[in-house]
């Protein structure tokens, strides 16, 4: 007998995506969410063809809707390069949708591993969680770059608002054939935001500039801060037991969160939540890409075994935040059981090929893993069992 659907009072923003993650996204909704939850969804298609058709305005509108409704759940999307421009016959090389959304929301991305007891860690010494706190504003993703065509001086100029004087710094004196240049920025407000969700963990801040690190306004009372250069921090992280927030600049956080995910087991086992400064607005997503290689197989009708756990957790964590904002205990209980069903399914020995390879090695047999849809079906079965147990009690 089916349980009565959980009614959600306020809307959530759904941002659809590209390629293989778009395929599993649809399956997750229809097998793990819609049978149990009655939702008002504000849907935005962030697939690359629609972003091109709307001149990327759909991305801006999805971010604005997130600010209005406070909860967004996002599928992985393509950031086009020259090859993608040609493949999709795009009008132009659109910027990263994540970069556009994050700069409108102005928050901090927190990424943590999803731990399954039977999945071996590549870094076995990590016995405590490590959370990456990553700028979601400025830095490399909003940089201004230029190709220098010949000899000349490159300068950095700052003109204070309301004042005539300006600061002018000479960056480099190009000679000969020229080269390339890049200018990045961030603000005290968004650097500070990285430190707002540390809870009781030790806090490492990884900022190359000692001028930023030395600003006492960027340190909160009651927290233990330690500054390390990023090369030193990577070495330390490998030999540490974990148990800290690792605060990174935007691009560094992107790279190191993949390092973290792989060290704990798999790139498919990583949560990613953008927390806005108001503490009320979040965007949950999978930390990985669109799994193009699997999508090419899927397009040809071949069998795939794509890990959907991070995408499932995007839904669970987004809905959990909706539940907390609304005081919806049934919805919160559902999200906890959905996450437990994912982990329980893997720990029972049912998993996708990427995880089976970690346990059985490169000679893993087909019988030792599930394909894409089989895994989602297994999670759905486990979820129904957990919900049924609660209902009987």
Which CATH number do you get for residue 90? 3.40.718.10
Q: Can you tell me the distance from the alpha carbon of 379 to that of 341, in angstroms, rounded to the nearest whole number?
A: 6
Segment 23-57, tens digit of pLDDT: 999 999 999 999 999 999 999 999 999 999 999 99
Pair 241, 134 in one domain: yes
Quick check: 248 pLDDT over 70? Answer: yes
Q: What is the pLDDT of residues 114-136, one digit of tens each?
A: 989 999 988 989 988 888 887 77
- Of the given ranges (95-99, 319-323, 377-381), which has the lowest mean pLDDT? 95-99
pLDDT, residue 364, reads: 94
For the chain, the farthest-separated pair of C-alpha atoms sits apart, in whole angstroms, at 78
**Predicted confidence (pLDDT) per residue in 156-165, tens digit:** 999 888 877 8
More confident residue, 221 or 279: 279
The whole-number pLDDT of residue 380 equals 98
Give yes or no for a contact between 75 and 29, defined as CB atoms under 8 angstroms apart. no
One domain, residues 57 and 159: no
Give percent of the chain with pLDDT exceeding 70: 88
Q: Tell me: do 298 and 326 sit in the same domain.
A: yes
- Give me 156's structure tokens: 């950095």
Q: Containing domain of residue 253, as a range? A: 121-138+191-264
Average pLDDT in the 11-19 region? 98
- Return the higher-pLDDT residue of 315 and 138: 315
pLDDT above 50 for 213: no
What is the rounded average pLDDT of the residues 238-253?
Answer: 84
**269 located within any domain:** no
Structural domain total, the chain: 3
Across the range 352-379, mean pLDDT stands at 95
Of 220, 314, 230, which is closest to residue 269 (Cα–Cα)?
Answer: 314
Whether 176 maps to a domain, the answer reads yes
Q: Tokens 């995506």 belong to which residue?
A: 17
SS3 label, residue 119: coil
**What pLDDT does 2 receive?**
56
- Residue 6 forms beta bridges with which residues? 37
Which CB contacts under 8 angstroms, 24+ apart, belong to 387-393?
387/3, 387/36, 387/334, 387/337, 388/3, 390/333, 390/337, 391/3
If asked whether residues 125 and 256 sit together in one domain, one would say yes
Question: Final residue of a domain: which of 212, 235, 264?
Answer: 264
Q: What is the average pLDDT value for the chain, to the nearest integer?
A: 87
């Amino acid at each position: 007998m089916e349980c009565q659907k959980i009614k959600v009072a306020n809307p959530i923003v759904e941002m659809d995506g590209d390629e293989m993650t778009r395929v599993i996204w649809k399956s997750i909704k229809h097998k793990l969410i819609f049978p149990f939850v009655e939702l008002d969804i504000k849907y935005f298609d962030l697939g690359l063809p629609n972003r091109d058709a709307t001149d990327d305005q759909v991305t801006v509108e999805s971010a604005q809707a997130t600010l209005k409704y406070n909860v967004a759940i996002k599928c992985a999307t393509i950031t086009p390069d020259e090859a993608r421009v040609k493949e999709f016959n795009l009008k132009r090389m659109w910027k990263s949708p994540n970069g556009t959304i994050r700069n409108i929301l102005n928050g901090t991305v927190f990424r943590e591993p999803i731990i399954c007891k039977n999945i071996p860690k590549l870094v076995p010494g990590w016995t405590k969680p490590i959370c990456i706190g990553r700028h979601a504003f400025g830095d490399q993703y909003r940089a201004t770059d230029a190709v220098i065509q010949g000899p000349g001086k490159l300068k950095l100029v700052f003109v204070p608002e309301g004042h005539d004087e300006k600061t002018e710094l000479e960056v480099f004196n190009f000679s000969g054939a020229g080269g390339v240049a890049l200018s990045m920025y961030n603000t005290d407000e968004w650097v500070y935001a990285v430190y707002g969700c540390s809870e009781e963990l030790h806090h490492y801040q990884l900022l190359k500039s000692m001028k930023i690190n030395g600003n006492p306004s960027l340190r909160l009372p009651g927290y233990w801060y330690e500054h390390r250069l990023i090369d030193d921090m990577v070495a330390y992280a490998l030999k540490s037991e974990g148990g800290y927030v690792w605060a990174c600049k935007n691009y560094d956080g992107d790279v190191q969160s993949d390092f973290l995910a792989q060290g704990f087991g798999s790139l498919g086992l990583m949560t990613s939540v953008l927390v806005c400064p108001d503490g009320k607005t979040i965007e949950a997503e999978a930390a990985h890409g669109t799994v193009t290689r699997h999508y090419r197989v899927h397009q040809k009708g071949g069998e795939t075994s794509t890990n959907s756990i991070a995408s499932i957790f995007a839904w669970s964590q987004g809905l959990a935040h909706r539940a907390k904002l609304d005081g919806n205990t049934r919805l919160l209980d559902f999200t906890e059981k959905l996450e437990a069903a994912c982990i329980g399914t893997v720990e029972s020995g049912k998993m996708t090929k990427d995880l089976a390879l970690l346990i059985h090695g490169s000679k893993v047999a087909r019988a030792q893993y599930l394909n894409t849809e089989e895994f989602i079906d297994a999670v759905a079965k486990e979820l129904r069992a957990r919900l049924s147990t609660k209902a009987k009690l």
